[in-house]
């Protein structure tokens, strides 16, 4: 059981996250911190923390997507994890967060690809940035089975506390590192859950200590580029969605983008960023994970091995 924390320039929050991991009622076997070339001393904070974390230092900032891809590959390939618990450095788990996830997994009468926690802001409100998508069309039996373990079935989940079964990773492969930020967890969880089971466990609670309370569509500025490009990559280049879901999510995305523009105080910035995202989303494909991380991390061979074996398993299935 390995926790993977992706860190970038938030040393104080990282220390709090590691304190919270050390205080879990279910002890972790290992903690892995992926430092995305922080300008502060995040890597030193992680290496000196009493939790005894392994620190994987990247030579450049690869975004959350790159950090989770590298961390997940290392946890599964080198640390031989059977379960991997993913989170950002501003995620502060309550003491029983992991215990509750594992209890629901153990009690559920079937294989579960991933489980997610209830994510709140520091004042206890449900955080809108990390709202899971309930599984549409879930059968009464699936809903009842999940309810019996105090959970409900979901179609997607967030990297802000996602517990992954390594068997699902070894079959489906890794997140798409080229997303850099935004929609990487949406694409990856949807890919794992297209034919798999995912559970949201409200009893497992983590705090997401973002600076502001709101979703990613709250005037994102230049980052709107990643929202548009990555959503198009997901809709056009990923196997995560069915045909019907692509139609539905295309409409939902267009509506979301329109509302973001209407609410923005810097529409010119958003229009320019959105047009660049539209161009790259339509004309480019995501690069291979090994190519994205090859210059930033010496462990790119771990990615090659894991993804080659995953492809072979999917072809044999």
pLDDT for position 216: 62
Question: Can you give the residue ranges of every domain in the chain?
Answer: 2-214+287-316, 216-285
Listed residue (54, 78, 69, 48) closest to 3, CA to CA: 54
Label residue 248 by pLDDT band (50, 70, 90): very high
Residue pLDDT, tens place only, 128-175: 888 888 999 999 999 999 999 999 999 999 999 999 999 999 999 999
Q: Say what the pLDDT of residue 239 is.
A: 96
Radius of gyration of the chain from its Cα atoms, rounded to whole angstroms: 19
What span, in angstroms and rounded, lies between the C-alpha atoms of 307 and 63? 20
Per-residue confidence at 106, pLDDT binned at 50, 70, 90? Answer: very high
- Bridge partners of 114? 164, 198
Share of residues in the chain with pLDDT > 90 (%): 90
Q: Contact 127/120 with Cβ under 8 angstroms?
A: yes
Strands 54-57, 30-35: parallel, antiparallel or unpaired by DSSP? Answer: parallel
Q: Which 3-state string (H, E, C) describes the chain?
A: CEEEEEECCCHHHHHHHHHHHHCCCCCCCEEEEEECCCCCCHHHHHHHCCCCCEEEECCCCCHHHHHHHHHHHHHHHCCCCCEEEEEECCEEECCCHHHHHHHHHHHCCCCCCEEEEEEECCCCCECHHHCCEECCCCCHHHHHHHHCCCCEEEEECCCCCEEEEHHHHHHHCCCCHHHCCCCHHHHHHHHHHCCCCEEEEEEEEEEECCCCCCCCCCCCHHHHHHHHHHHHHHHHHCCCCCHHHHHHHHHHHHHHHHHHHHHCCCHHHHHHHHHHHHHHHHHCCCCCHHHHHCCCCCCHHHHHHHHHHHHHHHHHC
- 117 pLDDT exceeds 70? yes
Task: Over range 204-225, report the average pLDDT.
Answer: 85
The pLDDT, as a whole number, for residue 199 is: 98
Rounded to an integer, the average pLDDT of 205-231 is 87
Task: Report pLDDT for 217.
Answer: 62
Architecture in CATH of 2-214+287-316? Alpha-Beta Complex (3.90)
Output 177 or 263, whichever has higher pLDDT.
177
The pLDDT, as a whole number, for residue 64 is 97
Least confident of 163-172, 216-225, 262-271, 308-317: 216-225
CA distances in angstroms from 113 to 65, 186, 285, listed in the order given: 19, 14, 27
pLDDT at 31 over 90: yes
Mean pLDDT over 22-36 rounds to 98
- Closest listed residue to residue 159, CA positions, set 62, 86, 84, 240: 86
User: What average pLDDT does the segment 222-240 reach?
Assistant: 97
- Mean pLDDT for 201-217 is 86
Average of pLDDT values for 75-99?
97
CB 119 within 8 A of CB 206: yes
Query: What is the mean pLDDT of the segment spanning 240-252?
Result: 95
Per-residue model confidence (pLDDT) at position 215:
65
């Amino acid at each position: 059981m390995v926790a993977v924390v992706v860190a970038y320039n938030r040393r104080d929050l990282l220390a709090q996250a590691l304190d919270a991991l050390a205080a879990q009622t279910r002890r972790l076997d290992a903690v892995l911190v992926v430092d995305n070339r922080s300008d502060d001393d995040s890597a030193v904070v992680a290496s000196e923390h009493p939790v005894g974390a392994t620190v994987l230092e990247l030579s450049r900032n690869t975004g959350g997507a790159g950090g989770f891809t590298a961390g997940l590959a290392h946890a599964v390939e080198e640390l031989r994890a059977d379960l991997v618990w993913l989170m950002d450095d501003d995620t502060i788990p309550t003491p029983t967060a992991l215990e509750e996830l594992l209890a629901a997994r153990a009690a559920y009468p079937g294989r579960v690809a991933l489980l997610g926690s209830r994510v709140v802001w520091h004042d206890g409100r449900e955080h809108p940035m990390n709202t899971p998508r309930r599984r549409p069309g879930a059968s009464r039996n699936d809903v009842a089975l999940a309810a019996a373990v105090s959970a409900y079935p979901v179609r997607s989940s967030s990297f802000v506390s996602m517990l992954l079964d390594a068997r699902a990773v070894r079959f489906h492969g890794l997140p798409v590192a080229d997303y850099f930020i935004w929609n990487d967890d949406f694409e990856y969880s949807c890919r794992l859950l297209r034919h798999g089971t995912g559970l949201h466990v409200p009893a497992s609670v983590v705090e997401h200590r973002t600076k502001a309370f709101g979703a990613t569509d709250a005037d994102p500025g230049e980052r709107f580029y990643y929202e548009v490009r990555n959503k198009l990559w997901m809709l056009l280049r990923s196997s995560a969605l069915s045909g019907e879901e692509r139609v539905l999510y295309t409409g939902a995305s267009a509506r979301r983008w329109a509302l973001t523009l209407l609410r923005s105080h810097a529409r010119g910035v958003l229009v320019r960023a959105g047009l660049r995202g539209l161009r790259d989303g339509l004309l480019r494909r995501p690069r291979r994970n090994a190519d994205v991380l090859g210059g930033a991390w010496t462990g790119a061979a771990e990615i090659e091995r894991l993804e080659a074996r995953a492809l072979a398993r999917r072809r044999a299935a």
